[in-house]
Structure 1
Amino acid sequence: MGETASAFVMVAASIAALLGLILRARIPAFLALLLVTVGFGLAYGMEPGAIIRSIQSGMGGTLGFVAVVVGLGAMLGALLESSGGIRALTQGILGTFGEKRTSLSLGFLGFVVAIPVFLDVALIIVAPVLYGLKARTGRPIIAFAIPLLAGLAVSHAFIPPTPGPIAVSDILGADLGWVILLGAVVGLPAMLVAGPVFARWLEGRAGFQDTAPVPLEADEAGGRPVSLALALSVVLIPLVLILAGTLVDALTKAGAVQIPEGLAAAIIFIGHPFSALIIACLFAWIVFGPGRGVPADALNRAMLRGLEPAGVVVLITGAGGAFKQILVDSQAGMVLASALTSTGVSPLFFGFSVAAIVRIAQGSATVAMLTAAGLAAPVAQLAGLDGAGLALMVLAIASCATVLSHVNDSGFWLVSRYLGLSEAQTLRSWTIASTLVGVTGFAGTLVLSLVV
């Protein structure tokens, strides 16, 4: 068997083993990824010591960046949640767009809310708004929920600091500023198609008229009400800083503008995701705590609660980094990348396809992104992708990691529970909407690849 065929068989067997461990044996993704990483190294003929070094390098290299960003992002989201900032965003955006354009406003609401908050947490927080709209208008809850879910799914997949794009960007070496900028360009059309447009069609279908969701309240820390401007500023501060740092870095390197060296260095420093999120967390702590008469202990408890789900995500992400590193250090990834490059297959299609297979088979978007990123990293390297090209590769992987949310995805059951939908109704609504997000997002990525 040739080297390329051997590498292909080994990688395919590793992915199959990963899916089997997660789906059949019900082993947690963190342990499954580490088992597959060790198994791949041994089967490929690596020395045991080299395997351990690869795991240490992969975990450390990934977590050195991802753990900080995911942790800070989780705390920022917890501060928004506990202060009532999410409620302020909800009421403000709905009031701005008006009830006649409720679907559009809910799509934008989901897009904004999911930037600092995990998708499941965001749905739980905003769910009372959906119940209120259903009661006030008498329309099916699906008319309001699908636009909101589309917005949540888009930001969760395309806009850092959510874990998926953060982890893929780190593995591929993509600049977060480019990912945020191009992710918004790709994501907003995807939100419109999968949200307001699809919801308008779905509302008239039979079987969605008598759903009865169970209302669940979000816990808030008290204090004076938060204004829309304040809540929105907390969300936008890290995004604006990161984009500014990326823009200044790109312009100065290209010689397009003359910026004093000290000023440029300062902007780039505060525009790093670490600095930007630290600044945003400190700002949120001040304005949501002392600024509203809320005791520090209440904010501390809220931030600790926010870190609990982040810990699981960080460990899985680190294990994904270890799997990526074993593919790199064994040279198997580079062998496959060389073979793929010689066929002329687009790197974007490669990332999209791998992510789709893993996502459909095992359900977790994060695991799908990490697996695809590990295989796509050498492909991107051989293709000479950088800057916007790497960001588009991130978006291609993220797009297909969003498609076909079904019964093996925890998000599927969360949507079913909170909206009072049966499994069949959830498949006909949320599953199709998630697929529209992914397919539309990938189409937008392909279009952008022709012009950037």
Structure 2
Amino acid sequence: MDSSLTGLIIVVGGIAALLAMIILARIPAFIALLLTSIGVALAAGMPPDTIMGSIRDGMGGTLGFVAVVVGLGAMMGAILEHSGGIQSLSRAALSAAGPKGAQWALAAVGVAVSIPVFFDVAFIILAPMLFGLARRSGRPVLWFAIPALAGMAMAHTFLPPTPGPIAVADLIGANLGLVFLIGLATGLPAVLIGGILFAPAAARLAGPVLAAGPASLPEALEDDASDADEGQAPPAMAVLLIILAPLALIVLGAFAGMLPVPAEVETVFRFVGHPFSALLIACAIAYVVLGLSRSFEAEALNRVMVKSLEPAGVIVLITGAGGAFKQVLVDSELGNQIAELMVSANLAPIAMAFGIAAILRVAQGSATVAMITSGTLVSAMIDTANASPVGLALIVSAIASGAIVASHVNDSGFWLVSRYLGLTEAQTLKTWTIMTTIIGVSGFIIACLIALVVT
């Protein structure tokens, strides 16, 4: 049998085993990825005494970058949440946009708050506001929820410094500044289509329960409590600037070489534009401006920031195990074999990236696991594909597009949306699942169009 075909069979078998362990056996993704790495390495004929070295190198190389970024991002998000900054930004955006622009404002807020804050936390924070808007306007809650959810879901998968795109960019060697800009170029139109334009249809598809209006909404989630401390919340502009600060610094560092500045200034730009520096600066600003200067005790801030690392730790370990899987594919040369097969089949890397991520997303539910596993597989093919820096960023967006599609019953986000919005499983499939699919497919189509023009 041809070696490339054998390599493909081994990798496909490994992925099937990985999904079976996660979905059927309910084994944690971290352990499942490590077991898959060992099994694939043995099947590829790697000497047993070298396998653990590959896993160590792959995990260590990945965690050296991702752990710092995810940890700092989680801490900054915790300060924004604890200080009431997210609520302040949301209120200001809705007040500025007015009733007619509420959907646009909610989509923008969804994007902004999901950059520093995990998706589930961002949604829980915004949920009372969504119900309050529905109650006051007489419209179904999905009229407001779908745009916000679209913004949050897109930012969670398309935009660094959220964990998924950070991990994939590191795995395939993509420039983070370009990843962010391409993520905006592909993700924002997808939010417009899947969030704002789809919202009226989603309200109708939900059926008579929600279409009847907000009278049937859970009173416990209305926004009375969130309005009580409005006077104590920090200024919305300060919150927005803190959220945008690391993104601006990362983009500045990425394009420092193109600016007409002295070499010494360029060096400074590159230093402050490194994700470590950018997030550390933003975290320090948030600590002082939203924490100490607003009379929060240092001990209380410390507790909040440390607690934020608990969910981040799971993501870091899964990402590290993904890096171990990647290293096994590289060291066993399975990646090169699959790359040769892909080239002979004349299949574009961007299409393969989307397809792999979509299959993994539908099969096991987690967008982060789908992105990391897809990035692991695609990273072994990048050299053969000779992708440009823009091409690499487009591949990250293609993976993000695939990893967001068809959220259904095996995704925790599905149940979070269902329970907080009072939807049945069928209603959630007709609204949330369709919305995520629209965003994913739209993002992929836009990425392909950009690839045709610039690569």
Q: Which TM-score band (shorter chain)?
A: over 0.9
Matches within 5 A, 1:424-439: 424-439=426-441
Confirm or deny: 8 A CA contact 1:222 1:294 kept in the other structure.
no
Matches within 5 A, 1:21-420: 21-205=21-205, 206-207=207-208, 208-209=210-211, 212-213=217-218, 214-215=220-221, 224-249=232-257, 251=258, 257-420=259-422
Confirm or deny: 8 A CA contact 1:41 1:326 kept in the other structure.
yes
CA distance in 2, matches of 1:76, 1:444: 31
TM-score by length of 2: 0.95
Give 3-state SS (helix, strand or coil) of 1:100's partner. Answer: coil
Confirm or deny: 8 A CA contact 1:174 1:386 kept in the other structure.
no
Give 3-state SS (helix, strand or coil) of 2:101's partner. Answer: helix
* Cα distance per residue 1:384-418 (max 9 Å; x no partner): 11311111111101100000000000110111111
CA distance in 2, matches of 1:132, 1:444: 35
> Residue type matched to 1:85 in 2?
G
Deviation at residue 345 of structure 1 after TM alignment: 0.9
CA distance in 2, matches of 1:410, 1:56: 30
CA distance in 2, matches of 1:292, 1:258: 40
* Cα distance per residue 1:351-372 (max 9 Å; x no partner): 0111111110110111111111
Confirm or deny: 8 A CA contact 1:347 1:376 kept in the other structure.
yes
CA distance in 2, matches of 1:346, 1:2: 22
CA distance in 1, matches of 2:89, 2:229: 17
Confirm or deny: 8 A CA contact 1:404 1:434 kept in the other structure.
yes
Give 3-state SS (helix, strand or coil) of 1:450's partner. Answer: helix
Confirm or deny: 8 A CA contact 1:223 1:293 kept in the other structure.
no
CA distance in 1, matches of 2:69, 2:52: 26
Instruction: Give the match for residue 446 of structure 2.
Output: 444
CA distance in 1, matches of 2:231, 2:287: 13
Confirm or deny: 8 A CA contact 2:150 2:435 kept in the other structure.
yes
Instruction: Give the match for residue 254 of structure 1.
Output: none
CA distance in 1, matches of 2:292, 2:105: 31
CA distance in 1, matches of 2:237, 2:301: 20
Confirm or deny: 8 A CA contact 1:223 1:292 kept in the other structure.
no
Deviation at residue 223 of structure 1 after TM alignment: 9.4
Moved more, 297-306 or 142-151: 297-306
CA distance in 2, matches of 1:204, 1:420: 15
CA distance in 2, matches of 1:419, 1:203: 12
CA distance in 2, matches of 1:45, 1:204: 56
* Cα distance per residue 1:104-138 (max 9 Å; x no partner): 11111101111111111110111111111111112
* Cα distance per residue 1:60-103 (max 9 Å; x no partner): 11100000000000001101000000001100111111111211
CA distance in 1, matches of 2:5, 2:217: 53
Confirm or deny: 8 A CA contact 1:245 1:269 kept in the other structure.
yes
Deviation at residue 221 of structure 1 after TM alignment: 11
Number of residue-to-residue matches in the alignment: 446
CA distance in 1, matches of 2:50, 2:217: 56
Moved more, 74-83 or 224-233: 224-233
Confirm or deny: 8 A CA contact 1:157 1:402 kept in the other structure.
yes
Deviation at residue 209 of structure 1 after TM alignment: 2.3
CA distance in 2, matches of 1:133, 1:306: 29
CA distance in 1, matches of 2:233, 2:105: 21
Instruction: Give the match for residue 424 of structure 2.
Output: 422
Moved more, 199-208 or 17-26: 199-208
Unaligned runs of 5+ in 1: 252-256
CA distance in 2, matches of 1:181, 1:292: 34
CA distance in 2, matches of 1:92, 1:57: 47
Structure 1 stretches (4+) deviating beyond 6 angstroms? 220-223
CA distance in 1, matches of 2:67, 2:231: 31
Unaligned runs of 5+ in 2: none
CA distance in 2, matches of 1:386, 1:297: 47
Give 3-state SS (helix, strand or coil) of 1:405's partner. Answer: coil
Confirm or deny: 8 A CA contact 1:179 1:395 kept in the other structure.
yes
Deviation at residue 297 of structure 1 after TM alignment: 1.5
CA distance in 2, matches of 1:111, 1:311: 23
> Residue type matched to 1:137 in 2?
S
CA distance in 2, matches of 1:389, 1:26: 36
Deviation at residue 189 of structure 1 after TM alignment: 0.4
> Residue type matched to 1:239 in 2?
L
> Residue type matched to 1:450 in 2?
L
Confirm or deny: 8 A CA contact 1:94 1:106 kept in the other structure.
yes
Confirm or deny: 8 A CA contact 2:79 2:291 kept in the other structure.
no
CA distance in 2, matches of 1:245, 1:60: 25
CA distance in 1, matches of 2:256, 2:379: 26
Deviation at residue 222 of structure 1 after TM alignment: 11
TM-score by length of 1: 0.96
* Cα distance per residue 1:302-355 (max 9 Å; x no partner): 112211100000001101111111111100011010110122111100101111
Confirm or deny: 8 A CA contact 1:221 1:299 kept in the other structure.
no
